Structure 1
Amino acid sequence: MEEIETERVENGSRLPARDTTWIEQLKQNPRRDFIQAIRDNDAARCLVKTAEIHGHFCPGSALGVMASLCGLRRLGGESIPSDGLENLMAIVEINACFADGVQAVSGCTLGNNALVYRDLGRMAVTFAIRGKESGVRVRVHPEFRSHITRAVPEFHPLLEKVIKNREGGPEEETAFKKKAREAAFALIGLPFELLLITESVRPDLPEYAPITESVVCPACGETIMATKVVSDGEKSGLCYMCAGGPYRQVEGRGIVTVSHGK
């Protein structure tokens, strides 16, 4: 058996020597491959990389990919790449598959505070650069479903059965994933103008995310952001969980308030 030449990398693991150059390049720019795909307008490559975080292929994430490619192109070359430091901002209006396409392609995420989530339930995203007066809003054309039906007529019936009604067994689930993949790749093969509507807007951006100090909850001993503890009353200084009060969370329904009782 031919021995593959390896080289040790920083974490102690070994990789084929030919891969170490690629790792070093990604150390300098972790979004290098993604950025090149964006500059090449390679929607297929962007969709594949989006599926790495989304978990599967689907029309929703494909629309997020297309909206992001279109919006970044309209915004101008300086918007590529995103460095995750809140210069390029994305305002997404739905917490569904579409949002993962936006996060993956743009590099604006909840974690780096460059993504703003507005709980409006619309497949739309606004891209803007801090310091610029105008941005671009991209929304999905209401007739997008007709393109899916023409390309993959089996998709919507399977969506209804497997996802909406939670019916069917492993065979139906496998069939759904297959048709969802076909539908996603069919969508990214269409021109932007058939799927998307764009407009120039004056964005309303939040301030840069504050750097918040941490405190330790005296009840549970966990480290908590100082802004996420009870600030007055007999439970002052306690985290929301230990105080037994309500807190907010983002879930399938959007932003909801959850009551937590001890």
Structure 2
Amino acid sequence: MKDFNTLLEGSAQAHGHLCPGQVIGVRMAMLGCRLIGLDEPSTLPQIKKIIVYVEMDRCATDAISYVTGVKLGRRSLKFIDNGIMAATFVNLETGKAFRIVSTETARELAPKLMPSIEDSRFAQLEAYKIMNDSDLFTVSRVKVNVPAAEMPGPTRFKAVCARCGIVVRDKKEVLKNNQILCRPCAFGSYYEPVDPHQHNPID
């Protein structure tokens, strides 16, 4: 794996800016990979051995993706919307997995490590670069049972929604009132059609 400064620079370029979340994400990813025994996770053959579950949609997630090579489209990046600055790194070959959580006490420690920096955000950024892993994170050994439908690779499972007829992949369908439904039909959706009777606007 490349060194921390090289990874941080590349991650910041890919993300669009350098921020404390980028430092957290790069260090979290480096630690997670080390714990599960992968040193080149973004290249073959290791790229097929890793899944990462992230629990926040913030800057750190982009950094984790950059360092590890995991991606939503590759099905190796899983988003669990817990709103927690945490990620779980899984070695699919060995089953070894660790959940790493960013500590809130690291924020309090940052100005003590960087007393000459008045800007709290910049103090965090610089302090997180040198802070001990034990101050920056809490780490737990965990077990993650990855279902076959969640594994990377080609689509293995398909179903058709009985209400709207759309194809649902990867076991995301719902059985409700003895009908196979897509989740929007079963639970409602984040969107609301403006005119459900309109023709396809691209016809």
- TM-score when scaled to structure 1? 0.56
- Paired position in structure 2 for 1:43: 4
Spell out, residue by residue over 1:155-213, the C-alpha distance to the aligned partner (whole angstroms, 9 max, x if none): 35xxxxxxxxxxxxxxxxxxxxxx3xx64243112221120111211113243246349
Q: What is the count of residue pairs matched by the alignment?
A: 170
Would the aligned equivalents of 2:55 and 2:87 in 1 still touch at CA under 8 Å? yes
- Paired position in structure 1 for 2:108: 146
1:81 and 2:41 matched: yes
Would the aligned equivalents of 1:246 and 1:260 in 2 still touch at CA under 8 Å? no
What is the alpha-carbon root mean square deviation over aligned residues? 2.9
CA–CA distance in 1 between the matches of 2:165 and 2:97? 42
Q: 1:142 to 1:134 in 2, by over 3 A?
A: same
Q: Aligned partner of 1:257: which letter?
A: Y
CA–CA distance in 2 between the matches of 1:137 and 1:120? 13
Q: Aligned partner of 1:137: which letter?
A: R
- TM-score when scaled to structure 2? 0.71
Report deviation, 1:148.
Answer: 3.2
1:63 and 2:51 matched: no
Spell out, residue by residue over 1:206-231, the C-alpha distance to the aligned partner (whole angstroms, 9 max, x if none): 43246349xxxxxxxxxxxx87xx73
SS at 2:30 equivalent: helix
- Paired position in structure 2 for 1:200: 141
- Paired position in structure 1 for 2:125: 184
Spell out, residue by residue over 1:72-119, the C-alpha distance to the aligned partner (whole angstroms, 9 max, x if none): 11111x453334754211111111111111111111121221111111
Please tell me whether Structure 1 or Structure 2 has the larger radius of gyration of its CA atoms.
1
CA–CA distance in 2 between the matches of 1:188 and 1:60? 11
CA–CA distance in 1 between the matches of 2:190 and 2:39? 35
CA–CA distance in 2 between the matches of 1:145 and 1:55? 23
Task: Give me the identity figure in percent.
Answer: 24
Alignment of 1:117-128 (within 5 A): 117-128=79-90
Q: 1:147 to 1:55 in 2, by over 3 A?
A: farther
